[in-house]
């Protein structure tokens, strides 16, 4: 690890930044671009009324289970009340004799399809907008997922199917692409990535997880495909004012930068510096098949992560409406 440069060395002292753009107290970042006009623009892309939910299943008992960032655990759901509760006299009794079921869950808030809080990742002791990283101790007091959840995310979504563009069911481990590749794929699809678009990228990685059905092989030499860092890519995100990046991978970007070896530099360059909201582990295959079938790659994208106070992230079930 000693030969891997510090994040600041990779991104630069003059890294592109949106700090202060929306004031010193902002906790929404680039989601500020999604105003009422953007909602109406997105709604114009509903033509058939089809809906696609983009969350993977949570707590799936069948193999291979749920895909997770290494070190996290899947949701642990437990029945607290069910019909067996009434096998004893200690069960609650209600007039009329109704019985009911209740359950509880213990989970990583980022253990499924989820939104990252803008304060989720940082370097040099500062979060998004310059907030002190000590504000994360015990509870995320600044740039938590709550402001994102209170706002909701609604706008024009555009799906770029990198796996299909490259003629693959899914991209390979560690396979990279950048903004020029996104634009080339968009042109091949006959669509344009426009300012304020919610950028949805399919790599086929979730399909790979379920079809492979072998977590040990999936995590061996863990290196996801995805966007790879460059100054030009970050400037492209900034100039296009992209509010939200949604992918079907666990971390939105190639796990380790192939040039510097730094882990997840785009989390820092895009989320921490530009305030781009990241959405991970989305199920995009059904949506992609529908888009490919009729050549319509844009839609109204709607997402509302759970309103978790002080949360570093929250589960979400986004909906694409075509």
Query: If you average pLDDT over residues 27-33, what whole number do you get?
Result: 98
Q: What angle do CA 118, 115, 131 make, to 5 degrees?
A: 10
Residue-range domain boundaries for the chain: 19-67+109-321, 76-106
- Complete DSSP assignment for 41-70: HHHTT-SS--EEE-BPPSS--STT-----T
What does the pLDDT look like over 40-51, one tens digit per residue? 999 999 999 999
**What's the pLDDT band for 1 if we cut at 50, 70, 90?**
low
CA neighbor of 154 nearest in space, from 19, 305, 288:
305
- Complete DSSP assignment for 154-193: EEEEEEEEHHHHTT-SSPPTT-EE-HHHHHHHHHHHT---
Taking the C-alpha atoms of residue 180 and residue 235, their distance in angstroms, rounded to an integer, is 12
What does the pLDDT look like over 149-164, one tens digit per residue? 999 999 999 999 999 9
What is the reported pLDDT for 2?
64
pTM beyond 0.95: the answer is: yes
Residue 32 phi, psi (nearest 5): -60, -25
Query: If you average pLDDT over residues 187-201, what whole number do you get?
Result: 98
Taking the C-alpha atoms of residue 177 and residue 173, their distance in angstroms, rounded to an integer, is 12
Which three-class secondary structure state does DSSP give residue 209? helix
What does the pLDDT look like over 251-285, one tens digit per residue? 999 999 999 999 999 999 999 999 999 999 999 99
261 Cβ contact partners less than 8 Å away, ≥ 6 residues apart? 3, 4
Instruction: Please give the CATH architecture assigned to the domain spanning 19-67+109-321.
Output: 3-Layer(bba) Sandwich (3.50)
């Amino acid at each position: 690890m000693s030969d891997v440069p510090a994040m600041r060395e990779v991104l630069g002292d003059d890294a592109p930044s949106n700090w202060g753009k929306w004031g010193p107290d902002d906790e929404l970042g680039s989601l500020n671009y999604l105003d009422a006009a953007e909602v109406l623009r997105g709604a114009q892309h509903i033509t058939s009324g089809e809906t696609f939910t983009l969350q993977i299943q949570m707590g799936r008992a069948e193999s291979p289970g749920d895909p997770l960032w290494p070190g996290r655990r899947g949701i642990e759901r437990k029945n607290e009340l069910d019909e067996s509760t009434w096998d004893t006299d200690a069960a609650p009794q209600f007039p009329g004799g109704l019985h009911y079921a209740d359950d509880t869950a213990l989970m990583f808030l980022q253990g499924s399809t989820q939104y990252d809080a803008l304060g989720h990742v940082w370097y040099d002791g500062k979060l998004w907008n310059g907030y002190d990283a000590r504000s994360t101790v015990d509870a995320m007091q600044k740039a938590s997922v709550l402001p994102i959840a209170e706002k909701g995310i609604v706008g024009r979504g555009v799906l770029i199917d990198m796996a299909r563009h490259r003629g693959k069911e899914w991209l390979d481990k560690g396979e990279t692409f950048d903004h020029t590749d996104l634009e080339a794929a968009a042109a091949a699809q006959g669509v344009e990535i426009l300012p304020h678009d919610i950028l949805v990228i399919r790599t086929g990685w979730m399909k790979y997880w379920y079809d492979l059905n072998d977590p040990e092989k999936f995590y061996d030499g863990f290196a996801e495909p995805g966007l790879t860092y460059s100054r030009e890519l970050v400037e492209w995100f900034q100039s296009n004012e992209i509010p939200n990046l949604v992918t079907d991978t666990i971390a939105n970007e190639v796990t380790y930068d192939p040039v510097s070896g730094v882990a997840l530099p785009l989390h820092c360059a895009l989320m921490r510096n530009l305030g781009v909201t990241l959405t991970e582990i989305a199920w995009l295959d059904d949506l992609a098949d529908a888009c490919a079938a009729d050549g319509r790659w844009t839609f109204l994208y709607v997402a509302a992560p759970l309103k978790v106070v002080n949360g570093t992230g929250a589960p979400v079930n986004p909906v694409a409406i075509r």
